[in-house]
Chains A and B, each alone.
Chain A
Amino acid sequence: MFRNYFKIALRNFVKHKTYSVINLAGLGIAITCCLLLGLFLQQEWRFDRFHSKADRLYRPWVREIHQNEPIVNTITPYPLGPAMVAALPEVEAMTRIVTLDVNTQRNGDIFNERVHLVEPDFFRMFDFPLLNQPPGNPLTQLKDAVLTEEIAQKYFGNQNPIGQTFRMQLDSAMETYTVRAVAKNVPANSSIRFGILLSFENIKPLRSQKQMNHWQQVEAETYVLLKSGVEVKQVAAKLPAMVKTATNNKFKPGEYVVNLQPITAIHLDNTLPQGIEPVSNPAYSYILATIALFILVIACINFMTLAIGRSAGRAREVGVRKVMGAIRQQLVYQFWGEALLMTLAAVVVGVLLTVLLLPAFNELADRQLIFKLDSTTLLSLFVLVAVVGLVAGSYPALVLSRFQPVEVLKGKLTLKGDQNWFRRTLVVVQFGLSVFLMVGTLVMNRQLNYLQAMPLGFKTDRTVVIPVNKGGEEGLAIVERYRNALSSHKEIANITASAFAFGTGAWADVGFNDKNKVFRSFQMNMIDPEFIPVYNIKLVAGRNFDQNNTADKYTAFIINEAFVKAFGLPDPLNQKLPGDFPAHQIIGVVEDFHYASLHSKVEPLLLVQRPDSLFAGINDLMFQSSPDPDISVRLQPGAVAEQVALLEQTWKKVLPDEPFSYTFLDENIASQYQQEKRLGTIVTIASGLSIFISCLGLFGLATLAVARRTKEIGVRKVLGASVGDIISLLSKDFIALVVVANILAWPLAWYGLHQWLQDFAYRVDVGWWLFGLAGAATLLIALLTVSFHSVRAALVNPVKSLRTE
Chain B
Amino acid sequence: MIKIENLEKVYRTEEVETKALNKVSIEVNEGEFVAIMGPSGCGKSTLLNILGLLDEPDGGSFKFIGTEISKFNERNRADLRKKNIGFVFQSFNLIDELTVFENVELPLIYLGVSAAERKEKVEKVLEKMQIMHRRNHFPQQLSGGQQQRVAVARAVINNPKLILADEPTGNLDSTNGNEVMELLTELNEAGTTVIMVTHSEHDARYAHRIIRLLDGEVVMENVREQFTV
Contact = CB atoms under 8 A, between A and B. Distances in A.
A405 B97 contact: no
B95 to A, nearest CB: 5
Contacts of B96: 15
A8 interface: yes
Interface string B21-43: 00000000000000000000000
Given A317-B95, A406-B55, A411-B91, A324 B102 contact: no
A1 interface: yes
B168 interface: no
A8 B97 contact: yes
A322 B93 contact: no
Contacts of A8: 95, 97-98
Nearest to B166: A409
Nearest to A10: B97
Contacts of A15: 96-97
A11 interface: yes
Interface of A is mostly: helix
A324 B97 contact: no
A320 B97 contact: no
A325 B93 contact: no
B109 A1 contact: yes
Contact of B154 (A4, A324, A405): A324
Contact of A409 (B93, B102, B105): B93
A325 B82 contact: yes
B75 A327 contact: yes
B97 A322 contact: no
B142 interface: no
Interface residues of A, number: 26
B211 interface: no
Contact of B110 (A11, A317, A325, A328): A325
A729 interface: no
Given A317-B95, A320-B95, A325-B78, 17 more contacts: A1-B109, A4-B102, A4-B105, A4-B106, A7-B98, A15-B97, A320-B93, A321-B95, A321-B110, A322-B54, A323-B54, A323-B87, A324-B82, A325-B82, A326-B110, A330-B110, A409-B93
A12 interface: yes
B97 A11 contact: yes
A514 to B, nearest CB: 83
A341 to B, nearest CB: 14
Nearest to A14: B97
20 contacts: A4-B102, A4-B106, A8-B98, A12-B97, A319-B93, A320-B93, A321-B95, A321-B110, A322-B54, A323-B54, A323-B81, A325-B83, A325-B107, A325-B111, A326-B78, A327-B74, A327-B75, A327-B78, A409-B89, A409-B93
Given A325-B81, A325-B82, A7 B102 contact: yes
Contacts of B82: 324-325
A316 interface: yes
Contact of A406 (B54, B95, B154): B54
A730 to B, nearest CB: 26
Interface of B is mostly: helix
A90 B16 CA distance: 84
B129 to A, nearest CB: 17
A590 B116 CA distance: 94
What bracket does the count of chain B residues touching chain A fall in? Answer: 20 to 34
Contacts of B97: 8, 11-12, 15, 317
B87 to A, nearest CB: 5
A320 B91 CA distance: 11
Contacts of B74: 327-328
A325 B54 CA distance: 10
Interface string B65-102: 00000000011001101110001010101111110001
Interface in A393-446: 404-406, 409-411
A323 B110 CA distance: 10
B61 interface: no
Interface of A: 1, 4, 7-8, 11-12, 15, 316-317, 319-328, 330, 404-406, 409-411
A324 B89 contact: no
B43 to A, nearest CB: 13
B49 interface: yes
The 5 closest A-B pairs by CB, nearest first: A325-B82, A325-B110, A11-B97, A324-B107, A406-B55
Contacts of B49: 406
B80 to A, nearest CB: 10
Contacts of A326: 78, 110
Contacts of B110: 321, 324-326, 330
B78 A322 contact: yes
A294 to B, nearest CB: 34
A321 B106 contact: yes
A322 B75 CA distance: 11
A405 B89 CA distance: 12
A324 B106 contact: yes
A64 B154 CA distance: 86
Contacts of B94: 320
Nearest to A323: B87
Nearest to A330: B110
A316 B93 contact: yes
Most chain A C-beta atoms within 10 Å of own C-beta, residue among B55, B83, B93, B107: B93
A325 B82 CA distance: 5
Contact of B109 (A4, A11, A405, A409): A4
Interface string B114-125: 000000000000
A323 B53 CA distance: 9
A583 B103 CA distance: 103
B106 A405 contact: no
A663 to B, nearest CB: 64
Contacts of B91: 411
A4 to B, nearest CB: 6
B50 to A, nearest CB: 9
Contacts of A320: 93-95, 106
A317 B107 CA distance: 13
A15 B93 CA distance: 18
A323 B51 CA distance: 13
Nearest to A7: B102
Interface string B45-65: 100010010110000000000
Most chain B C-beta atoms within 10 Å of own C-beta, residue among A1, A317, A409: A409
B70 to A, nearest CB: 16
Nearest to B50: A406
A327 B105 CA distance: 17
Contacts of A324: 82, 106-107, 110, 154
A1 B111 CA distance: 10
B187 to A, nearest CB: 18
A324 B88 CA distance: 11
